[in-house]
Structure formats: structure tokens, C-alpha cells
Structure 1
Amino acid sequence: MGDLLASIYPWTKSLHIVAVLTWMAGLFYLPRLFVYHTERVTVGEPTDELFQTMEMKLFKYIMNPSLIAVWLFGLLLVFTPGLVDWWSIWPYTKGAAIIAMTWFHMWLGIRRKEFVAGTNARSGRAFRMMNEVPTILMLVIVFSVVFKF
């Protein structure tokens, strides 16, 4: 199995990077949609339905498949022999940040359902602040992998 993973490593790494990029795009954009949805739209308006459609399609058709691909290709990389030094700290900081980013993804999914139900109680400011979460986690992940401390 190790030989197979080593032989497909360039493909696995490339697909992992593409999946991370698409997932991050969604993690950055969906909270921004929530800001505009909260600040500019009244529940029940045609625009409310439009925002709900955009949010659902982004979450269901881009973010969810990207999340699955990130985990799939990431785990294949973890099991590729010689890539991870388990005596270092970086795999654990990266892993913790990925788990936190996955939690954030799920949190966004719950917020989206609140918009559908017409029960969103958060302000645009709250969504702006939460929009910083993926940036911070991304920095932890990138610096962990590049510097391998």
C-alpha cells in the first residue's frame, strides 16, 4: 500500500491542494453572504429566497464536496510513507486547525438552516467577525506545514 501511495503522491497532493482552495473559497464567501443577507434582506422577500438559494448551492455543491475531498486526499497524504514526522509538533497543530476548520464548516451549515427557517438572530457584525476564523486557521495550517516546527 505504501508503494502505491508513494507512486500517486503528485496526484494526491495536487488534488488535495485544489480541494483546499475550493473549500477555503467557500469558507470565506459564505459568511460574507450571511453578512449581506442579514443587513440587506427582510425575511420573506424575493431577495431572501435568492440569498437562500445562493447559500444552499455554495454549501451543498461546492463546500461539502470540497470538505470531503480535503479529508480524503489529506488522509492519503498522511498515510504516504515518509511525509509526516510524527515526532514533530506540526502534524498536531495542523490536525487541530483542520478539525477546527471542519467545525466552522458545520457551524456555517447550522447558520444557513437558521436563515431558511427565518430564525437568524446574529448581526452582520457577528458574521464579519466569524469570517476571520478561517483566515486564522489557514495561517496556522500553512505555517505548520511550511516551517514544520
Structure 2
Amino acid sequence: MLWIKAFHIIAVVCWLAALFYLPRLFVYHAMSEDQVSKDRFIIMERKLMRGIATPSMIATLVLGFWLLHYIPGYMSAGWMHAKLTLVVLTMGYHHMCARYMKQLANGTNTHSHKFFRVFNEIPVLFLVGIVVLVVVKPF
């Protein structure tokens, strides 16, 4: 079970690292004015989403549910319900990133680089909440 936990933590780190970086690319993409730069950001965003973010999200979920299989008592804990709520919100954020990535690629984006600078901070809140819940187990 410790191997599963270790790989779960690694997957979480990779997933959130990608979610920290992808909106930062959106900031620069939204600021770019020439087509060469826009095309470069489209490629970088696609590779980050398909190569790291989505596989890491899937690994996080599979390994997390595998851990819950071994420790089913956690499902009766309030902190786990709160943590899983934050995981679902993180998944929603991931899908919002995918939507914004498509809009930027299609030229239909309506958000400014300032919006993406604020949007970029949201996964930090999820991370803080998840870590505090798992370590402190407040309820």
C-alpha cells in the first residue's frame, strides 16, 4: 500500500504542476500578437495538457481510489468528503483549462491576460485545502 501512496503523491504533484503552468502559458498566449508566438503556445499548451496534465489526473484518480479500496474507513470521515470535493473542483478546473486552451487555439478567447493571471492562482487554493485536510484531518 505504501507504493500506491507514493505513486499517488507523485501523480498529484505532476498534475498540479501542470495546472500551475498551463494557465501561465495562457497569460503569455493572450498577450502574444504575432502568429508564430500563438502557434508556439498552442503546441506547448496541447503537449502539457495531453502529455502531463491529463495522464497525471487519471493516475491520481486511479491510485486514489485504489487507496480508498484498502482503507474504506476513510469514506466515513468528514475530512475525506471535503478532500474529495476539492478533488472534484480540481477536475472541473482541469476541464476549464481544456476549454480555455481550445478557445485560445481557435482564436475565440475573450479573456485578457489579467484574467488568466488570477485564474492561475485557483489551484493553489485547492492544493492548500487538500494538503491540510489530509495531514491535519480536522473532522
**Same fold judged by TM-score > 0.5?**
yes
Of 124, 127, 133, which aligns to 1:138? 127
Of 4, 15, 19, which aligns to 2:11? 19
Deviation at 1:78, TM superposition (A): 1.0
Instruction: Give the AA of the match of 1:77.
Output: L
For 2:95 and 2:75, the matched residues in 1 are separated by 29
Deviation at 1:42, TM superposition (A): 2.2
Deviation at 1:68, TM superposition (A): 0.3
For 2:71 and 2:78, the matched residues in 1 are separated by 18
Instruction: Give the AA of the match of 1:141.
Output: I
Q: Could you say which residue in structure 1 is the equivalent of 2:33?
A: 42
Deviation at 1:81, TM superposition (A): 2.9
For 2:86 and 2:80, the matched residues in 1 are separated by 10
More helix by share: 2
- Larger Rg, first or second structure (1 or 2): 1
RMSD: 1.2
Q: Could you say which residue in structure 1 is the equivalent of 2:25?
A: 33
Point out 4+ residue stretches in structure 1 off by more than 3 angstroms: none
For 2:42 and 2:7, the matched residues in 1 are separated by 29
TM-score relative to the length of structure 2? 0.95
Calculate percent identity across the aligned residue pairs: 36
Q: Could you say which residue in structure 2 is the equivalent of 1:5?
A: none
Which of 73-82 and 20-29 deviates more?
73-82
Unmatched 5+ stretches in structure 1: 1-8
Aligned residues: 138
Q: Could you say which residue in structure 2 is the equivalent of 1:89?
A: 78
Contact 1:77 1:83 in 2 (8 A): no
